[in-house]
Amino acid sequence: MSIVFYVLTTITVMGALAAMLLKNTVHCALALSVVFAGLAFLFMSLDAQYAGWAQVLVYIGAVAILVVFAILLTKGSETPKDGVFSRTWFVGLVIAAGVFAVLGWAVMGSMKALPQLTAVPQVTNLDIGNALVGRYVLPLEIVAVLLTAAMIGAVIVAIHEKEGQK
Amino acid sequence: MIGFFDQIFVLLQHWIVSFLPAAWQSAAGVLLAVVAIICLFPALFALTTVFERKGIARIQNRLGPNRVGPYGLLQPIADGIKSLTKEDIVPMSADAAVHFLAPVVMVVAVFMGFAVLPMGRNMVLVDMDAGLLFYFAIGASAELAVFMAGWSSRNKYSLLGAMRAVAQMISYEVPLLLSGVTVVMITGSLSLTKIVAAQNHYSYGLPHWYIFTPWGCAGFLMYAIAATAESNRSPFDLPEGESELVAGYHTEYSGFKFALFFLGEYLAMFSISGLGTTLFLGGWSAPFSFLNWVPSWIWFFSKLMLSIFVFIWLRGTLPRLRQDQLMNFAWKFVLPMCLLNLFVAAAWRFMGDGWLRWVVCSAVLIAAYVTLGWSEMHRGKIGPRSYRYAE
Amino acid sequence: MTSLAYYLLVAALLFSIGLAGALVRRNAILVLIGIELMLNAANLNLIAFWRYGPHPERLTGMIFAIFSIAVAAAEAAVGLGLVIQIHRHAKTTDLDAMNRMKG
């Protein structure tokens, strides 16, 4: 594998570890942005430029900022007094290690059956656009309804109740 | 001869690169173009700071800097020396790593935006198929730098300024993208070079720029409003309003880091004006077909400086908008107008050539503007003063 | 090892790190961050298979990943709205302290 792959993977995995291990919540959110950026560049190294830039636009431009705002609105930047890891942290770690072991075993075990086509799929933005309004128009419309419902729902869930209605 | 001056920078790049072995030539060409951008735009920034201060001063009936050099034109050099030699103060309780990285992230994100702007015929750094998507993605990441700066300073005013700035930038990002999407819809491509090429036609000597169509004019106005808000410029500069928040999210920055934020803000203004000229004003194409002998890059930079002049003019003239007025404006006026503009552009495209589509599209847009504006301006009477206390 | 296997292993690693974080951290927002990591790892899997797999349908993997990005953003918005409202009610985001259904 090329050096670009190793550098990007190192950055992404380090960022993921930092996002899950740091004590300060805002640092975790910023490490998450690093993970998003690393993943976007990994997508681009896989010749999926549209997905890569969509990842930057949606995740770093919106989701990361949303997470950071939520942290500030819930006073998450103060360090908790009981520690940052839950009482049952060991079980969680064992479960995650088990999941990784199973996934790794599945990948290594099926090595012979994995496809290895080196031809890059020739996909232009025009093809993506045509597919979105042609073959995939139903998922597109459903995702539009979902996003509208999510937006209205998030506002209703998080809105401040007026004093008289409490 | 005419083509020579038009392509003079491209020919210069090829000439310099021809001295290197063939394997290095493309990388060296790109490197040369990157160095040119890194040298040119900060120089333009230096010139703009002095023009802005003189321009605003003249609007406000005073002189502006006039001591350093003839008519104060060497003022940026004095400013540069000052910012480089000032002590770099980092507050003791500030988050050192994030505090250091915030201006870096901002400047890097803003410089990356210049990579897809076509500054002349054949003068794009990277001719990306999805150039517009790249630009908007990079612009969205600059907001994170603003938040990082405000939060890491551990200062109430900085944090408040940062949250206001981020809320404003997010709100106005949707109209910005929607006006860009209208242009993409009509052109049929996300590539900025194709968008400029689609506007590079003339009929009876007049250009086919998108701003000369009803939907393009409305789109350009929405884009200009959203661009002013995205760069935190007056009248949308509450996050850095000197009278309210000291200096907003860059209160605790001094010396070179403040200069980097300043640079980042002005460069963001340049790149968003550059994108606006590419999308609506025809990029590097000349206004009249008989003016084609003037090099294309002169047209691009003239339109860029014209946009900057309009920004400076707006700053000197209009009063600042309050935060809630700003957000109301974004979500209740600009966004519906942008959505309607999308429909009007589609109607324009499907009505075919003729005078009817001009009349119908203009009528719909003007009616919408009047209706939306009426409901915004006349909402509720101003009652007796009421107080709300923070919780 | 084929290059597809490398990408799949990276995705599995990111998924398990996200899962570990979601199970181990106390703060509700960090659990949501772990969930976002898991969704991103799945996206990487999709794109890797799109690139290296056979292509009877040229676009399925990429379109699937784009829809996944959109849906994950919606889910993050609603989840964070819920966390903010819970914080207003219980004055804490500590998940270990929220172990009763009674308000």
Residue B389 in any domain: the answer is no
| A68 and A4 in a common domain | yes
Nearest to B277 by CA among B246, B253, B298: B298
Helix (H, G, I), strand (E, B) or coil at B207: strand
Residues in A closer than 8 angstroms to C1, CB to CB, are 111
Cβ contact A96:A61 at 8 Å: no
| A137 and A71 in a common domain | no
B289-344 residue pLDDT tens: 888 888 889 999 999 999 999 999 999 898 888 888 888 889 999 999 999 999 99
Residue A141 in any domain: the answer is yes
B34-45 residue pLDDT tens: 999 999 999 999
- Best probe of the A interface among B147, B148, B153, by most A CBs < 10 A, is B147
Is the Cβ of A31 closer than 8 Å to some Cβ of chain B?
Answer: no
Name the most confidently modeled range: A78-87, B103-112, B230-239: B103-112
Q: Radius of gyration of chain C from Cα atoms? A: 17
Task: Delineate the domains of chain C, giving CATH numbers in brackets.
Answer: 3-97 (1.10.287.3510)
The answer, yes or no, to whether residue B376 has pLDDT greater than 80, is: no
User: What percent of chain B has pLDDT above 70?
Assistant: 95
Angle CA(A149)–CA(A153)–CA(A156) in degrees, nearest 5? 145
| Structural domain boundaries, residue A41 | 1-78
pLDDT at B89: 85
How is residue B249 written in tokens?
């999210």
- Shortest Cα distance, chain A CAs vs residue C24, angstroms: 5
User: What percent of chain B has pLDDT above 90?
Assistant: 42
In which band, very low, low, confident or very high, does the pLDDT at B107 lie, cut at 50, 70 and 90?
very high
The answer, yes or no, to whether residue B245 has pLDDT greater than 60, is: no
Nearest to A34 by CA among A12, A63, A3: A12
Domain total in chain A: 2
| A127 and A72 in a common domain | no
Q: Which of A12, A44, A78 is the last residue of a domain?
A: A78
CATH number reported for the structural domain that contains residue A57 in this entry: 1.20.120.1200
Residue B41 in any domain: the answer is no
Residue A98 in any domain: the answer is no
Per-residue pLDDT, averaged over B197-224, amounts to 88
pLDDT at A165: 45
The answer, yes or no, to whether residue B232 has pLDDT greater than 90, is: no
In which band, very low, low, confident or very high, does the pLDDT at A89 lie, cut at 50, 70 and 90?
confident
Residues 26-45 of C with CB under 8 A from A: 26-27, 29-30, 32-34, 36-37, 40, 43-44
Work out the burial of residue A166: count CB atoms within 10 Å of its CB; fewer than 13 is exposed, 13-18 middle, 19 or more buried. Answer: exposed
Which chains have 3+ CB pairs within 8 A of A? B, C
The answer, yes or no, to whether residue A163 has pLDDT greater than 60, is: no
Rounded-to-integer distance, Cα A116 and Cα B310, Å? 55
Which residue in B has a C-alpha nearest to residue A130's C-alpha?
B188
In which band, very low, low, confident or very high, does the pLDDT at B280 lie, cut at 50, 70 and 90?
very high
pLDDT at B246: 64
Helix (H, G, I), strand (E, B) or coil at C37: helix
How is residue A111 written in tokens?
């090595």
In which band, very low, low, confident or very high, does the pLDDT at A166 lie, cut at 50, 70 and 90?
very low
Cβ separation of A67 and C32 shorter than 8 Å?
A: yes
Query: In the block, which residue shows the tokens 């000439």?
Result: B15
Which of A65, A77, A125 is opposite residue B130, by nearest beta carbon?
Answer: A125
- Best probe of the A interface among B151, B177, B195, by most A CBs < 10 A, is B151
Cβ contact C6:A5 at 8 Å: yes
Rounded-to-integer distance, Cα B76 and Cα A17, Å? 44
Cβ contact B106:B142 at 8 Å: yes
Rounded-to-integer distance, Cα B225 and Cα C25, Å? 43
The answer, yes or no, to whether residue B281 has pLDDT greater than 50, is: yes
In which band, very low, low, confident or very high, does the pLDDT at A41 lie, cut at 50, 70 and 90?
very high
Residue B232 in any domain: the answer is yes
| A127 and A59 in a common domain | no
Residues 58-77 of C with CB under 8 A from A: 58-59, 62-63, 65-67, 69-77
- Shortest Cα distance, chain A CAs vs residue C100, angstroms: 16
Cβ separation of B128 and A30 shorter than 8 Å?
A: no
pLDDT at A67: 94
Residue A2 in any domain: the answer is yes
CA distances from residue B217 to B24, B65, B205, B302 in whole angstroms, order as listed: 45, 36, 20, 19
Mark whether B and A touch (3+ CB pairs within 8 Å): yes
Residue B325 in any domain: the answer is yes
| A8 and A74 in a common domain | yes
Cβ separation of C23 and A59 shorter than 8 Å?
A: no
Which of A26, A27, A61 is opposite residue B137, by nearest beta carbon?
Answer: A61
Residue B273 in any domain: the answer is yes
pLDDT at B205: 67
Residue B225 in any domain: the answer is yes
Residue A15 in any domain: the answer is yes
Q: How many of the other CB atoms lie within 10 Å of CB of B92?
A: 7
Query: In the block, which residue shows the tokens 């930092």?
Result: A18
Q: Residue A60 has what DSSP assignment? A: I
C14-55 residue pLDDT tens: 999 999 999 998 889 999 999 999 999 999 999 998 888 776
Residue A83 in any domain: the answer is no
Per-residue pLDDT, averaged over B107-135, amounts to 91
Contacts of C49 by beta carbon, 8 Å cutoff, 6+ apart: C4, C61
Rounded-to-integer distance, Cα B60 and Cα B65, Å? 13
B247-261 residue pLDDT tens: 677 778 888 888 998
Residue A103 in any domain: the answer is no
Residues 67-106 of A with CB under 8 A from B: 68-69, 72, 77
Residues in B closer than 8 angstroms to A126, CB to CB, are 188-189
Per-residue pLDDT, averaged over A93-115, amounts to 89
Query: In the block, which residue shows the tokens 């990277």?
Result: B126
Cβ contact B123:B297 at 8 Å: yes
Per-residue pLDDT, averaged over B249-277, amounts to 89
Q: How many of the other CB atoms lie within 10 Å of CB of B347?
A: 15
Is the Cβ of A33 closer than 8 Å to some Cβ of chain B?
Answer: yes
pLDDT at C103: 63
Which chains have 3+ CB pairs within 8 A of C? A
Contacts of C64 by beta carbon, 8 Å cutoff, 6+ apart: C46
**Neighbouring-strand partners of residue B202:** B207
Q: How many of the other CB atoms lie within 10 Å of CB of C60?
A: 17
| Structural domain boundaries, residue B151 | 80-375
Residue B186 in any domain: the answer is yes
Domain total in chain B: 1
Q: What is the predicted ipTM?
A: 0.91
Residue B5 in any domain: the answer is no
Is the Cβ of A63 closer than 8 Å to some Cβ of chain B?
Answer: no
